[in-house]
Structure 1
Amino acid sequence: MSKLTRLAETLRKEDVGRIRVNEPMSKHTTIRIGGPADLLIEPKNTKSLRKIMKAIYEHDVKWRAIGRGSNLLVSDKGIDGVVIKLGKGMDDLELNGTELRVAGGHSLIKLVAFISKEGLSGFEFAGGIPGSVGGAVYMNAGAHGSEISDILTKALVLFKDGRLEWLTNEEMEFSYRTSILQQRSGIVVVAIFDLKKGNKDSIIAEMNKNKDYRSDTQPWKEPCCGSVFRNPLPNHAGKLVEQSGLKGHQIGGAQISNMHGNFIVNVGGAKADDVLALINLVKKTVKNRYDIDLQTEVEIVYE
């Protein structure tokens, strides 16, 4: 009996949540690409998540966590080991005055809409950003000159040995689209944000303006994985792609969006290798034209 089979049996006895074997990751990524994960587990609450992590540690199995799959490119060969998907059951929310406590599996889009209607300011920049709260903290998501690190007070992180630890804003070591969690493997269980009271109508208007801008300029109505490259500030990746004449360029079923140069869309039957080929083409072209080394923002999982 393999380690994974024993792990699955252990976790089923513990009733930790939904467990699926050889689950296609194409069902769990916004670009609709990805081969099977050996095990995909959706914990039903934080207690279950800790049991899952403890069992993974004891069985010495590879793992990774995902939220809503909006910043993820998974190989067509799939993912070895366990994928922990945070969602329902890991989406609690508690508001005390201007302090917001929210679980890592909560939808960022739903959170921003809720907070705006409460007349609290701080999340307007995130209007229309897909994904989960945990993923947003992990990546230090941002837009319109603001980012998660501007409002996060601390985060409760579950590490692979089962240890829960509160990390302050400073301890998260935030920088542009990065955090310490990209070096120390951990799962954001809870995030606490410090918001400000404001005019509800103005906050909602600002949130909607940002959401509409995203809808009008980015191809979220098509399967895609979000911004592919980090902006090499003061330049912008999308502009460099456009100036290089690559918008609309297609390999297999993957295409550089005609709407935004920093997006790759699945126009039908795209493979992960198609997307990766486009990424490498863009990197090579921009390097040759502008002597700029583009770095990917999307997380690429090729086991």
Structure 2
Amino acid sequence: MTELINQLKDLNIGIVKEGEPLANHTTMKIGGPADIFIEPSSVEGLQKTMELLVDNQVEWTAIGRGSNLLVSDDGIAGAVIKLGRGLNEMELDDGQLRVGGGYPLVALATQISRKGFSGLEFASGIPGSVGGAVYMNAGAHGSDISKVLTKAYILFPNGKMEWLDHEEMDFSYRTSVLQKKRPGIVVEAIFKLTEGDKDLISAEMQKNKDYRKTTQPYNSPCAGSIFRNPLPEYAGQLIESAGLKGHSIGGAQISEMHGNFIVNTGNATATDVVALIEHAKDTVFAKYDVKIETEVEIIGRK
């Protein structure tokens, strides 16, 4: 790995580190080291990174702001590519929004609302990046990314980049083709927005933010919703009805505010969180004969 790290540094692609703790890069503040941690400073740097990793047959994992993610205590083998400040440009032209995969989703929704454009109000409290949101078809308040995305520019493992239109993204509830069939990195996304009343848009944004503040534990380290809703049921309600609100294993606790959130109370490990996830699954199934599946991605060394 040392030779590869030196090659990456020689390419001047951005930040390159060995053994970087991924707890520093996840909203849950959990995660062991990455063999190689890379934060490209540009799309060109990302392409060069991928070419070198492919040439050296090194496996890779992409992350954004680290929400909706639980990283193993033993870290991640190979390279971890973080889409951040180098891929966060934004351009709005008559309702067409072109934005980099590293742009923070909450900041984007706020910026767009101030310009009087509607379509991203639902995202006002989702603590991820544009790339991650497209990857998992993030949503809330009755809407999601699939409602506004026109197309996405994807970097595939072979180093090729390609635009996928809305149909090719194959969106469904909290998932896309990038999870199911064609793994890749969202470099850019294009959204179609509509012009509207700034005051009404801002009021809707504020309502969504207030709802999250009063019902969800975003002041504590967490990964967002842990489980997909087994519609027409809701995972949080099932977990709360099963008497699991506040239940802890090690430093991981099912939130006192919302049953579909697990918080890190200060010293939680990924092992604690996984054990609590399995306990919640088993308890809900035993009581209600309903299977709940994880929405959070669990990645890294087993």
Q: TM-score, normalised by structure 1?
A: 0.98
Q: Which residue of 2 aligns with 1:43?
A: 40
Instruction: State which of 270, 273, 281 in structure 1 corresponds to 2:271.
Output: 273
Contact 2:153–2:161 at 8 Å: present in 1 too? yes
Q: Which residue of 2 aligns with 1:218?
A: 216
Separation (CA, whole Å) in 2 of partners of 1:207 and 1:12:
42
Q: Which residue of 2 aligns with 1:170?
A: 167
Instruction: State which of 44, 66, 69 in structure 1 corresponds to 2:66.
Output: 69
Whether 1:180 aligns to 2:177 is yes
Separation (CA, whole Å) in 1 of partners of 2:227 and 2:79:
27
Q: Which residue of 1 aligns with 2:258?
A: 260
When the two structures are aligned, how many residues end up with a matched partner? 300
Aligned to 1:64, what secondary structure does the other structure show? strand
Instruction: State which of 128, 132, 135 in structure 2 corresponds to 1:131.
Output: 128
Instruction: Mark the runs of 5 or more structure 1 residues left unpaired by the alignment.
Output: none
Separation (CA, whole Å) in 2 of partners of 1:14 and 1:20:
14
Q: Which residue of 1 aligns with 2:188?
A: 190
What one-letter code is carried by the residue in structure 2 that aligns with 1:214?
A: R
Contact 2:99–2:189 at 8 Å: present in 1 too? yes
Contact 2:77–2:300 at 8 Å: present in 1 too? no
Whether 1:32 aligns to 2:29 is yes
CA deviation string 1:9-28 (max 9, x = no partner): 11111100000110001100
Instruction: State which of 97, 100, 105 in structure 2 corresponds to 1:103.
Output: 100
Separation (CA, whole Å) in 2 of partners of 1:189 and 1:7:
23
Separation (CA, whole Å) in 2 of partners of 1:102 and 1:76:
33
Q: Which residue of 1 aligns with 2:232?
A: 234
CA deviation string 1:119-138 (max 9, x = no partner): 00000111111110000000
Aligned to 1:53, what secondary structure does the other structure show? helix
Separation (CA, whole Å) in 2 of partners of 1:63 and 1:72:
15
Aligned to 2:167, what secondary structure does the other structure show? coil
What one-letter code is carried by the residue in structure 2 that aligns with 1:106?
A: Y
Stretches of 4+ aligned residues off by more than 4 angstroms: none
CA deviation string 1:144-175 (max 9, x = no partner): 11000000000000001110000000000000
What one-letter code is carried by the residue in structure 2 that aligns with 1:257?
A: S
Separation (CA, whole Å) in 2 of partners of 1:143 and 1:107:
16
Whether 1:245 aligns to 2:243 is yes
Alignment of structure 1 residues 190-209 onto 2, 5 Å:
190-209=188-207
Q: Which residue of 2 aligns with 1:21?
A: 18
Separation (CA, whole Å) in 2 of partners of 1:46 and 1:241:
42
Q: Which residue of 2 aligns with 1:151?
A: 148
What one-letter code is carried by the residue in structure 2 that aligns with 1:222?
A: S
Separation (CA, whole Å) in 2 of partners of 1:23 and 1:288:
40
Whether 1:299 aligns to 2:290 is no
CA RMSD of aligned residues (A): 0.7
Whether 1:116 aligns to 2:113 is yes
Q: Which residue of 1 aligns with 2:286?
A: 288
Instruction: Mark the runs of 5 or more structure 2 residues left unpaired by the alignment.
Output: none
The alpha carbon displacement at 1:5 in A equals: 2.2
Separation (CA, whole Å) in 2 of partners of 1:20 and 1:259:
37
The alpha carbon displacement at 1:205 in A equals: 0.7
Whether 1:86 aligns to 2:80 is no
CA deviation string 1:161-199 (max 9, x = no partner): 110000000000000000000032100000000000100
CA deviation string 1:228-249 (max 9, x = no partner): 0000011100000000000000
Instruction: State which of 50, 55, 59 in structure 2 corresponds to 1:58.
Output: 55
Separation (CA, whole Å) in 1 of partners of 2:149 and 2:191:
4
Aligned to 2:227, what secondary structure does the other structure show? coil
Aligned to 1:69, what secondary structure does the other structure show? coil
